[in-house]
């Protein structure tokens, strides 16, 4: 994966995560004041919130463990080596 | 008195676990004592971080909030925490990499290296002031629950005094590794007990949906947004609660402590990701239990409603099982006190004391941290002696206040133009506003939308002001020597992934 491609992917994930964060922090756009319809005994906006948060969780899992965008253990040694070189300087 | 025996057993097990950590030599040097020699695996990390945040608030407070206000409570400490997987990773990836490389052992370390010693001193002080609210909330929860469980044979004040003493003993002995092990055991225990109580409560009315139907028939307002003419669970109120809790989680000492202690990148990522996922289950359940309790134990209000978790357990379970379930709440409170007290003691020993005496020996550093553990717990007992505010509200105030350190942290890691002046002025003004709001209008001024603040709550208003002050403060000043010298380290190309 080229550096440009990786940066683009990272930005896409970042924007997506920010949008989903807003939905997890506020039922804006899918929750209204007053009586709500119920699904599985719960208000519909609560069910939608749970679905959004589960989708968000899965996307984060993919980002952290199934892409090359997050740090991995086999890279740590090199990173620490470079940082310790800097420490010595 | 079966319940009291269980609590005593849990305290003794915690002390024994900590003693094992002590005997096996995990507290011999400063690196071992404060960050467990960066050796914690992902299972311990996940449950230790979880337990260090999930508290009396997550069970007693959230069941109380669900009982009093309904489904809107899910935005306080469940779905709103799912974004922490990415928020923690993006922000604390550098804490992990730089911390391991530079042997950091406190919250003040990154601020000190990036902005200088003033921030290294200021951050632990602000975090301590904020943490005290949160620790007191746990101690209050402990006192209230012990009183309820023992049918008032053991008074609130006896609980508030003795349980923190046990905590002091095992924190002083076991250090970070002991605390992490104790947290893990306590976290597993209370998670299991929450699940047990949830299924038993729901089975009382023939299942989850029939229970919710019965609640809806009596209290339809619990299923609404904008209750009481838009005053409860309005969108600004929800956003204020959700953002305060999430951003506070980023800024409390626990993610720093656990990032420094993580052995692997996989462990770090698993810990950050799992937190929100587990919270959706483990904290939603107490909320739903609280909502169901409106028909099983009706008529509670205010501080009394904080006892609903124990009361419903006594209502639907046999005495031994009820005692175990409430003991789960106890362990949650204890593990949070562990994390908060240890984190603050770590900051004081490494940031404040070491700055005053740079040449102190590791043994002296550990001794100072141990004294700090004791002092923080004594202060908490004194404040908790007279409970006036419901537990839930008290904790949210803490989260709001600590989040003012977010902008200086973001600036340290992601903005080369950030300056010490901007960081100091933002932290002082942000923390000052939070204190002022609490003194002037109590917790409601922090939590509830205020017309004077464009319908934002005090937390969000203070948070936005903090951000503006930081931005302006950095732009009107130039980075000094410390800031310039820190750039090659904080913006090293190897950290960019």
User: For residue B33, what are the CA distances in angstroms to B260, B341, B369, B451?
Assistant: 12, 14, 9, 48
Residue A1 is predicted with a pLDDT of 60
Which whole number is the average pLDDT over B388-399? 62
Cβ of B83 and A63 within 8 Å?
Answer: no
Report whether pLDDT(B377) > 60: yes
Confidence of residue B389 (pLDDT cuts 50, 70, 90): low
Lowest-confidence pick of B82-86, B177-181, B481-485: B177-181
Cβ of A61 and B273 within 8 Å?
Answer: yes
Report d(CA B335, CA B329) in Å as an integer.
Answer: 10
User: Which own/partner contact pairs does B308-311 have at CB distance under 8 Å and 24+ positions apart?
Assistant: B308/B60, B308/B63, B308/B64, B308/B67, B309/B59, B309/B60, B309/B63, B309/B64, B309/B145, B309/B197, B310/B60, B310/B145, B310/B148, B310/B149, B311/B148
User: For residue B187, what are the CA distances in angstroms to B184, B239, B281?
Assistant: 5, 28, 13
Min distance B234 CA to chain A CA atoms (Å): 8
Residue A64 has its nearest CB partner, among B273, B276, B488, at B273
What size, in residues, is chain B? 497
Residue B441, CB half-sphere, CA atoms under 13 Å: how many? Answer: 15
Q: Which residues of B touch A65 (CB under 8 A)?
A: 269, 273
Q: Which residues of B touch A3 (CB under 8 A)?
A: none
Residue A48 is predicted with a pLDDT of 97
Main-chain phi, psi angles of B302, to 5 degrees? 60, -135
Lowest-confidence pick of B3-12, B59-68, B286-295: B3-12
Which whole number is the average pLDDT over A63-74? 95
Closest among B29, B46, B47 to B37, alpha carbons compared: B29
Lowest-confidence pick of B9-18, B77-86, B459-468: B9-18
The percentage of residues in chain B with a pLDDT greater than 90, rounded to a whole number, is: 51
Q: What is the mean pLDDT of chain B?
A: 89
Residue scoring higher pLDDT (B344 or A88): B344
Report whether pLDDT(A47) > 90: yes
Tens digit of each residue's pLDDT (9 = 90 or more) over B199-246: 999 999 899 999 999 999 999 999 999 998 888 999 988 998 898 889
Residue A53 has its nearest CB partner, among B79, B235, B269, at B79
Residue among B45, B78, B82, B488 with most chain A CBs within 10 A, to mutate: B82
Min distance A55 CA to chain B CA atoms (Å): 10
Residue A71 has its nearest CB partner, among B93, B226, B242, at B93
Report whether pLDDT(B497) > 80: no
Residue B388 is predicted with a pLDDT of 65
Report whether pLDDT(B478) > 80: yes
Residue B46 is predicted with a pLDDT of 92
CB-based contact B146:B158 (threshold 8 Å): yes
| CB atoms near residue B127 (< 10 Å) | 27
Q: What is the radius of gyration, based on Cα positions, of chain A?
A: 20
Which whole number is the average pLDDT over B131-143? 83
The full DSSP string for B58-88 is IIIIHHHHHHHHGGGGHHHHTGGGTTHHHHH
Min distance A15 CA to chain B CA atoms (Å): 12
Residue B393 is predicted with a pLDDT of 59
Cβ of A25 and B238 within 8 Å?
Answer: yes
CA B244 to chain centre: 12
State whether residue A44 is helix, strand or coil.
Answer: helix
Q: Which residues of A touch B41 (CB under 8 A)?
A: none
Residue B242 has its nearest CB partner, among A26, A34, A60, at A26
Strands (E), chain A: 38-39, 42-43
Give residues with Cβ within 8 angstroms of B123, minimum separation 6.
B107, B108, B111, B347, B351, B405, B408, B427
Residue B156 is predicted with a pLDDT of 87
CB-based contact B494:A83 (threshold 8 Å): yes
CB-based contact B344:B320 (threshold 8 Å): no
Cβ of B273 and A57 within 8 Å?
Answer: yes
Residue A87 is predicted with a pLDDT of 64
Scan for tokens 């590794």, then name that residue.
B177
Tens digit of each residue's pLDDT (9 = 90 or more) over B326-338: 888 888 888 888 8
Report d(CA B139, CA B152) in Å as an integer.
Answer: 17
| CB atoms near residue B303 (< 10 Å) | 15
CB-based contact B145:B303 (threshold 8 Å): no
Q: Which residues of B touch A20 (CB under 8 A)?
A: 83
CB-based contact B283:B168 (threshold 8 Å): no
CB-based contact B337:B164 (threshold 8 Å): yes
Cβ of B238 and A26 within 8 Å?
Answer: yes
Which whole number is the average pLDDT over A6-32? 95
Report d(CA B48, CA B268) in Å as an integer.
Answer: 12
- Token pair for residue A19? 């949008």
Residue B496 is predicted with a pLDDT of 84
CB-based contact B450:B461 (threshold 8 Å): yes
Q: How many helices (H) and strands (E) does chain B have?
A: 25, 0
Residue A85 is predicted with a pLDDT of 78
Main-chain phi, psi angles of B490, to 5 degrees? -70, -20
Residue B131 is predicted with a pLDDT of 87
Q: What is the 3-state secondary structure (H, E, C) of B205-233?
A: CCCHHHHHHHHHHHCHHHHCECHHHHCEC
Cα dihedral B422, B425, B429, B432 in deg (nearest 10): 140
Which whole number is the average pLDDT over B365-390? 86
Cβ of B494 and A64 within 8 Å?
Answer: no
Scan for tokens 């956003």, then name that residue.
B239
Q: What is the DSSP letter of A43?
A: E
Residue B394 is predicted with a pLDDT of 61
Which residue in chain B is spatially nearest to A61 when comparing CA positions?
A: B273
| B459-480: b (≥16 Cβ within 10 Å) or e | bbbbbebbbebbbebbeeeebe
Percent helix, strand, coil in chain B (nearest 5)? 85, 0, 15
Confidence of residue B439 (pLDDT cuts 50, 70, 90): confident
Main-chain phi, psi angles of B232, to 5 degrees? -110, 130
ipTM for the predicted complex comes to 0.95
Confidence of residue B166 (pLDDT cuts 50, 70, 90): confident
Tens digit of each residue's pLDDT (9 = 90 or more) over B394-416: 666 677 788 899 999 999 999 99
Tens digit of each residue's pLDDT (9 = 90 or more) over B144-157: 777 877 778 888 88
Min distance A43 CA to chain B CA atoms (Å): 6
Residue A60 is predicted with a pLDDT of 97
CB-based contact B52:B183 (threshold 8 Å): yes
Min distance A7 CA to chain B CA atoms (Å): 9
Give residues with Cβ within 8 angstroms of B305, minimum separation 6.
B64, B67, B68, B390
- Token pair for residue A23? 């939905």
Report whether pLDDT(B55) > 90: no
Closest among B106, B79, B51, B77 to B353, alpha carbons compared: B106
What size, in residues, is chain A? 89
Q: Which residues of B touch A80 (CB under 8 A)?
A: 97, 100-101
Min distance B333 CA to chain A CA atoms (Å): 25
User: For residue B331, what are the CA distances in angstroms to B8, B22, B187, B269?
Assistant: 11, 21, 7, 25
Residue B396 is predicted with a pLDDT of 62
State whether residue B450 is helix, strand or coil.
Answer: strand
Report whether pLDDT(B41) > 90: no
Confidence of residue B183 (pLDDT cuts 50, 70, 90): confident
Residue scoring higher pLDDT (B435 or B128): B128
Q: Which residues of B touch A72 (CB under 8 A)?
A: 265-266
Residue B390 is predicted with a pLDDT of 56
CB-based contact B14:B186 (threshold 8 Å): yes
């Amino acid at each position: 994966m080229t550096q440009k491609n990786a940066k683009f992917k990272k930005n896409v994930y970042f924007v997506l995560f920010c949008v989903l964060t807003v939905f997890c922090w506020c039922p804006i756009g899918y929750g209204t004041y007053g009586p709500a319809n119920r699904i599985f005994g719960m208000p519909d906006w609560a069910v939608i919130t749970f679905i959004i948060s589960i989708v968000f969780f899965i996307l984060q899992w993919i980002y952290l463990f199934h892409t090359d965008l997050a740090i991995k253990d086999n890279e740590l040694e090199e990173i620490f080596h470079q940082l310790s070189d800097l420490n010595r300087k | 008195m079966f319940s009291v025996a269980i609590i005593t057993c849990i305290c003794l097990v915690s002390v024994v676990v900590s003693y094992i950590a002590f005997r096996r030599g995990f507290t011999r040097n400063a690196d071992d004592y404060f960050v467990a020699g960066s050796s914690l695996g992902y299972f311990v990390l996940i449950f230790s971080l979880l337990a260090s945040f999930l508290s009396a608030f997550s069970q007693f407070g959230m069941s109380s909030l669900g009982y009093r206000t309904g489904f809107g409570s899910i935005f306080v400490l469940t779905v709103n925490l799912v974004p922490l997987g990415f928020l923690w990773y993006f922000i604390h990836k550098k804490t992990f990499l730089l911390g391991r490389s530079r042997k950091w052992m406190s919250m003040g370390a990154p601020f000190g290296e990036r902005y200088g010693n003033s921030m290294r001193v200021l951050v632990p002080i602000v975090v301590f002031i904020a943490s005290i609210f949160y620790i007191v909330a746990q101690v209050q929860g402990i006192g209230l629950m012990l009183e309820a469980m023992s049918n008032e044979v053991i008074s609130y004040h006896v609980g508030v005094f003795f349980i923190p003493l046990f905590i002091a003993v095992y924190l002083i002995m076991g250090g970070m590794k002991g605390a992490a092990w104790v947290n893990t055991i306590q976290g597993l225990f209370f998670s299991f007990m929450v699940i047990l109580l949830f299924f038993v409560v729901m089975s009382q009315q023939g299942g989850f949906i029939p229970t919710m139907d019965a609640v809806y028939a009596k209290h339809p307002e619990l299923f609404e947004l904008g209750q009481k003419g838009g005053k409860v669970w309005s969108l600004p109120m929800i956003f204020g609660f959700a953002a305060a809790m999430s951003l506070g989680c980023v800024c409390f000492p626990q993610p720093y402590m656990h990032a420094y202690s993580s052995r692997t990148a996989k462990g770090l990522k698993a810990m950050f990701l799992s937190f929100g996922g587990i919270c959706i289950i483990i904290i939603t359940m107490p909320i739903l239990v609280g909502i169901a309790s409106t028909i099983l134990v009706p008529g509670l209000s205010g501080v009394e409603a904080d006892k609903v978790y124990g009361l419903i357990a006594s209502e639907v379970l046999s005495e031994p099982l009820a005692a175990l379930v409430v003991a789960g709440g106890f362990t949650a409170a204890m593990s949070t006190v562990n994390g908060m007290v240890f984190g603050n003691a770590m900051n004081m020993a490494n940031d404040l004391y070491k700055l005053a005496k740079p040449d102190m020996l590791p043994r002296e550093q550990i001794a100072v941290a141990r004294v700090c553990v004791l002092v923080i717990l004594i202060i908490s007992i004194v404040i908790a002696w007279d409970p006036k505010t419901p537990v839930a509200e008290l904790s949210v105030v803490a989260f709001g206040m600590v989040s003012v350190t977010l902008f200086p942290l973001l600036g340290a890691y992601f903005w080369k133009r950030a300056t010490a002046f901007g960081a100091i002025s933002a932290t002082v003004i942000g923390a000052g506003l939070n204190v002022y709001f609490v003194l002037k209008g109590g917790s409601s001024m922090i939590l509830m939308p205020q017309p004077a603040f464009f319908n934002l709550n005090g937390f969000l208003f203070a948070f936005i002001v903090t951000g503006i002050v930081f931005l302006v403060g950095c732009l009107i000043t130039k980075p000094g020597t410390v800031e310039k010298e820190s750039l090659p380290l904080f913006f090293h190309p190897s950290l960019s992934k």
